[in-house]
Every structure is written in structure tokens, then in C-alpha cells.
A and B are shown apart, each in its own frame.
Chain A
């Protein structure tokens, strides 16, 4: 069928005016939207309040659905556990024996460490846990990697605060609502974390690649900083992330850069802790060289 020209309303003046004003509204709206995007690019802090309200609105849906998703995940695992019970039991027993020996060693080292620290009169800068929460969802349709947690400004969470799981760093708070907050994950391209190699302490930083892996760069040019299997921890440089939080595991290296995977997997982690800023004297929003990318 050849298209009838609907947008040409004939001789009715009223219809013509309505059509014209519709176009005026649309064009003005497009210009306003363009300005909004530019404003968000220039000053990423501008719309945090609005985005916070939006993430609050979504959080009940996410947390309700998350418990259902977890229930199914649990049954799934439980069936698999029955099938592998005996072999898993043997493996775990052997591992427990090894772990006990290591634990005793670790206790000794810990005591020694405490003694040496008190000898050196090292001042520990404490970082407080602001709040504990569940990870309730993530942006699924967006190219940026952002997760949502179920605590917000009411619990004292502010944008810029680091977020960690029991086994490693997750990311940092991007914007907060009253009872939910969006967290920029390590794997996002705009996330930059200063790190240190656990093996020899050499510095570097990791940025996200956007596909679940991280890009690691050393600060000493030319040297082969990273090896496969290296564990990277936060260094505390920049004052945002507290030091000694495990970040990533190096899976391949080329010269002074490499590829790593995060140690804490946001999809597997249920509970996370929001930490205070390591050095609060630096304003949170100026610490990381992050830029908020524009998405259409």
C-alpha cells in the first residue's frame, strides 16, 4: 500500500496549527536534550539527585526479583552438590588440612607484624564501613557497567565512596538515592583504580575494558611489571580507595601492561560494604580521573 500522507492534515487550520506546534515542541525538546547531555558531560554531578530518585524507584523491583532469582539459583546448585558430594568432601578435607597449617603460619606473621608496627609507631588510617548492603541489580541494557545497591543517602552513603565485597573491591558509588545507590563497577571503562602488585609492590593502575576484564598498566615504563597470576591490591594512592583491598588477578601480560580479571565477581557476590573515603580531606569527586561517558 502506498503510504497516505498522514502528516499533511488538509485544509483544517486547527489541525495545521496543532501539527506545527507539535514540531515546535519536538525541536525545542531536542535542543533541550542536547543541552542536558552537554551539561551532564561538563558537570557529571548536576543530575545526581534526579538519577538518585530514579534508582530509588527501581530498587523495590530489583530487590524483590533478586530474592526470587537467588532461590532458583540455590536449588540449581543444591542438586549439583548431591551428585558430587563424596569427591567434594575428600577435596575439602585435604584443603582444610593445608589451610590449617597456613592459618597457623599466618597467625604467627600477624603477631610479628603487630609487634613490628608498634615498634615503628606506624599510624594506621582507619576506614570505616559506612553501610552493608545487598547488590540488587545492574544496568542490563546500558553499555556502561553499573550495579545497584540497596542503601543510599539515608545510611550515609555519598557519591565517590568505595564499595567492596568480602573478597575484593567492587567499585565506587556513582550517585545515591534515599535508599539505593548506583555503583560504577571496576569493569567500566571510566573506572580507574591505583593498584600495587602484591608480589613486589610495584605501582600501576587498572581500568575497565567493558567486557568483564581489566586493563593493567605499570607506572615504570619498559619494565616487565606484571606476571600471569599476580594479585593486585589497591595502593591507597589518590586517597579514594583504602590500601590493601584485593582488586584483580593478572591473566596475561605484555611488557608493562596486562589483562586482569576482578577478584570479586559482582554477579556472584550478595553482600557488599560501602567504605568511607580513605582520605576524606580530598573531595570525593575530584579524586579519580573519571569521566562520565555519554550514551544515546
Chain B
């Protein structure tokens, strides 16, 4: 196959490795919840969601609008959330971002960074509220802090993967 006559988007469509890399990396992110540690508090950031969001902000068109359904379901199953909660929230996030991007005039890396961080924060605080844990939210703060600090790193990783996935 001669590469010269294809545009980037067409090449993505033609190469399986490039097409499934984002989904695989998201599932791998979810699978980090299987790390063999036992803790009294939630400490692990929601890596699956973070990878999912980073891909979304790297390529706004890449995920089909329903991509949150299968990937959210995988995340629910792997990390033991109530089934359906990830499907619901991830899909709603995609819809919300599409709507938001139509409203704002300028989109750059800062939009991805702030929106991603905000989304992860709302997601963690929301799940803390919904599970009705009686302890103060401050006990969930380490997890939130890890998530917010690691988010730019996950973004870098996704960008690196993005550069490499055409050769997979």
C-alpha cells in the first residue's frame, strides 16, 4: 500500500492497529484497578476514564458518540462499579463535550486539560456522594489529587501512543 495517496484519516481507517489502539489503551487503563493492593480508602485514580478523555481531547472526532457504552461497561465490570453507571456517565460526557465545543470559540490544549481535570473531579466527587459513604469527602482527597496530578501525564502518554499507532 503506498502511503502517499492517503490522508491521515484514511490511513487510520485502513490500519487496524491504529484503529483499536485507543480502545485497547482505555481498557488497559481500567485494568489498572486490578493492581494487587488492599487499602482502606480509594487511592487509585480512574485511569480508564482519564485515558478515554485524553483521546477525546486529542481527536474530537475519534470516538463515535456511542463509544462510552462498551468502554464504560468494561470499566464497570473491571472495577466493580454498579453496572450501567460508567456506560451512562461516559456517554453523557461525550455528548456534553460535543455540545460545549459548539459553544466556545477557541479550542486548544488548555481546553482539554481543564475540561478533563474538571470532569474527573466531578466524577470522583459524584461517585463519593452517590455511594453514601459517611466519612467526610476529605478522605477521598488523595485519590482526587493523584488523578488531577497524573492527568497531564496520561495526556502525554496518549499523545505518544497517538504518534506511534500508525506503525502498529
Interfacial residues, chain A to chain B (CB-CB below 8 A): 1-3, 5-7, 22-23, 25-26, 29-30, 32-37, 40-41, 47, 50-51, 54-55, 57-58, 61-66, 68-69, 135-147, 182, 187-190, 207-213, 215, 265-267, 292-296
A residues near B53, Cβ cutoff 8 Å = none
The 4 closest A-B pairs by CB, nearest first: A210-B133, A36-B84, A212-B40, A140-B44
Q: How far is the CB of A72 from chain B (nearest CB, A)?
A: 11
B92's closest neighbor in chain A, by CB? A30
A residues near B89, Cβ cutoff 8 Å = 296
Q: B69 and A40: CB pair below 8 A?
A: no
Given contacts A2-B107, A209-B134, A293-B131, contact A26 B91 (CB under 8 A): yes
Which among A6, A35, A211, A292 is the interface contact of B82 at CB below 8 angstroms?
A292
A to B CB contacts below 8 Å, 10 in the list = A2-B107, A3-B60, A7-B61, A29-B69, A54-B77, A61-B31, A141-B44, A143-B131, A209-B135, A293-B82
A residues near B42, Cβ cutoff 8 Å = 139-143
Q: B78 and A145: CB pair below 8 A?
A: no
B residues near A212, Cβ cutoff 8 Å = 40-41, 139
Within 8 Å of chain A (Cβ to Cβ): is B126? yes
Q: A138 and B38: CB pair below 8 A?
A: yes
Interface residues of B in 111-144 (CB under 8 A from A): 123, 126-128, 130-136, 139-140, 143
Q: B139 and A211: CB pair below 8 A?
A: yes
Q: B131 and A267: CB pair below 8 A?
A: no
B46's closest neighbor in chain A, by CB? A141
B residues near A26, Cβ cutoff 8 Å = 65-66, 68-69, 91, 94-95
Which among B64, B86, B133, B135 is the interface contact of A296 at CB below 8 angstroms?
B86
Given contacts A2-B107, A63-B36, contact A7 B98 (CB under 8 A): yes
A residues near B37, Cβ cutoff 8 Å = 69, 137-138, 140, 267
A residues near B106, Cβ cutoff 8 Å = 1-3
Within 8 Å of chain A (Cβ to Cβ): is B101? yes
Q: A1-B108, A3-B104, A69-B37 are in contact. List 19 more A-B contacts (CB 8 A).
A: A5-B102, A7-B61, A22-B65, A26-B69, A29-B91, A33-B69, A33-B85, A34-B84, A37-B84, A41-B82, A61-B36, A141-B33, A142-B127, A143-B42, A207-B134, A210-B133, A267-B37, A295-B85, A296-B126
Complexed CA–CA distance, A295 and B34 (Å): 18
Complexed CA–CA distance, A2 and B32 (Å): 36
A residues near B135, Cβ cutoff 8 Å = 209-211, 213
Q: A37 and B82: CB pair below 8 A?
A: yes
Identify the interface centre among B80, B95, B102: most chain A CB within 10 Å of its CB. Answer: B80
Interface residues of B in 38-84 (CB under 8 A from A): 38-47, 60-61, 64-66, 68-69, 72, 77-84
Complexed CA–CA distance, A215 and B69 (Å): 37
Within 8 Å of chain A (Cβ to Cβ): is B105? yes
Interface residues of B in 1-39 (CB under 8 A from A): 31-39
Within 8 Å of chain A (Cβ to Cβ): is B87? yes
Complexed CA–CA distance, A137 and B36 (Å): 5
Q: How far is the CB of B104 from chain A (nearest CB, A)?
A: 8
Given contacts A61-B31, A69-B36, contact A140 B61 (CB under 8 A): no
Q: A295 and B91: CB pair below 8 A?
A: no
Complexed CA–CA distance, A5 and B104 (Å): 11
Complexed CA–CA distance, A187 and B77 (Å): 22
Complexed CA–CA distance, A53 and B92 (Å): 27
Which among B46, B107, B130 is the interface contact of A294 at CB below 8 angstroms?
B130
Which among A69, A141, A207 is the interface contact of B45 at CB below 8 angstroms?
A141
Complexed CA–CA distance, A26 and B128 (Å): 26
